[in-house]
Amino acid sequence: MSKATPRASNAPKQRLAEDGGASFPLSSSLRKLSLQQQQSADSPSDICNVCKSSRYLNPNMRFLVNPECYHKMCESCVDRIFSHGPAPCPIAGCKRTLRKVKFRSQTFEDLKVEREVDIRRRVAKVMNKQESDFENLLDYNNYLETVEEMTWNLILEIDVPETNRKLKLFEAAQKAELNPNATFRPIDDQPNTSTLSDTSHVVLKKGGTQRKALATSFGDPFGGDDMAGGKDTGFVFKGLKKREAPKPESPFDPFDGWSVDAEHYNLQDNYDHQWIQNFKTDPEYYAGGWIQKDYWNRMMMEALGGMAIFIEDEIVARENAASGDAGVGTENAAGAALGGKDVDMMDVF
């Protein structure tokens, strides 16, 4: 527009400017005119970096990030690019493979904070020791220091593959310690996909040859060699107590180990008595789980249980024990134990 109506006096100078490529005045004015720039001046985070559409035109637009690379893009771009499965990140220079399910809206405005929180969460899930797990406070503090150092390594991206490998090994070692009988899949020693920087192609499933190679490299999962002391557990902490797996629960015993051992009778497996015969064949009884032998046992128990209890002797002994050395007579003890206090209680009227 300004080009279309140049003033005659200014014309050569203007052309010079155009020719010299110093288009700053022009481009800045263009930029001022452009819708995009207007928006970005308003709030730069409201433009999708992939499709350049802005919230101004679509107020319902949502931005999502993937914790693989934390590049922000709008929901429709995510749908468009990742609906058909994993695909590389569309942002120029980022080649990580992203999956649709991992996309989420960000919690913190600053993506650096978002990333740090994610990393800390991941580390804390594995490094979950408490002070009580260590023999002394010094060891615990050393542990905390190691954890913090490792966390910062991950955040600042120093030595990431090695740290991730150690974390995985440590997690597996913890699990194995908790339940030594469980079988685990061999740990994938491949670096985390987040650290893949130059694999441009997408690996969906491991091919047959890869699988074979993995199987041979890890050997038999049931082999005892990796459970032996020489196993790499990622980290070794001084003073860390050995974690003991809880013992398997023994079957519930309602009588707490007690049993009845009859002294005066021997229970037979079978009795033939006329009035017992009916019960043996009557479905009314056996259908409900009525056990014949229990009833015989109960009869014999009631017949002979208490036969050798001599109430007179035992009660006198009981009261003597109850009254103790206080010199209280048997009668007083009897009164106190059997009724003295309770007479008032009983008299509700």
Q: Site residues (CB under 8 A) for other proteins?
A: 257-266, 268, 271-274, 276, 296, 298-312, 315-316, 331, 334-335, 338-339, 342-343, 345-346, 348-349
Is the backbone of residue 159 left (phi > 0), alpha (psi -120 to 50) or beta?
left
Q: Cα-flanking dihedrals φ and ψ of residue 240, to 5°?
A: -80, 125
Choice between 152 and 295, CB closer to other proteins = 295
Closest Cα partner for 144 from 237, 233, 243? 237
For other proteins, give the closer residue by CB, 198 or 302: 302
d(CA 281, CA 274): 12
CB of 317 to other proteins, least distance (A): 11
Q: Which is nearer to other proteins, 216 or 274 (CB)?
A: 274
Q: How far is the CB of 171 from other proteins (least distance, A)?
A: 44
> CB of 347: closest distance to other proteins in angstroms?
8
Task: Give min distance, CB of 324 to other proteins, in A.
Answer: 18
Maximum CA extent, the chain: 138
d(CA 103, CA 126): 23
The DSSP secondary structure of 14-61, one letter per residue, reads HHHHHHTT--HHHHHHHHHHSHHHHHHHH-GGGB-TTT--BTTT-TT-
CB 293 within 8 A of CB 285: no
Q: Least Å distance between CB 310 and other proteins?
A: 6
- 126's enclosing H/E stretch is helix 111-126
Q: Which is nearer to other proteins, 144 or 299 (CB)?
A: 299
- For other proteins, which is the closer residue by CB, 24 or 310? 310
Q: How far is the CB of 147 from other proteins (least distance, A)?
A: 49
Closest listed residue to residue 57, CA positions, set 32, 79, 81, 74 = 74
Nearer to other proteins, 233 or 292 (CB): 292
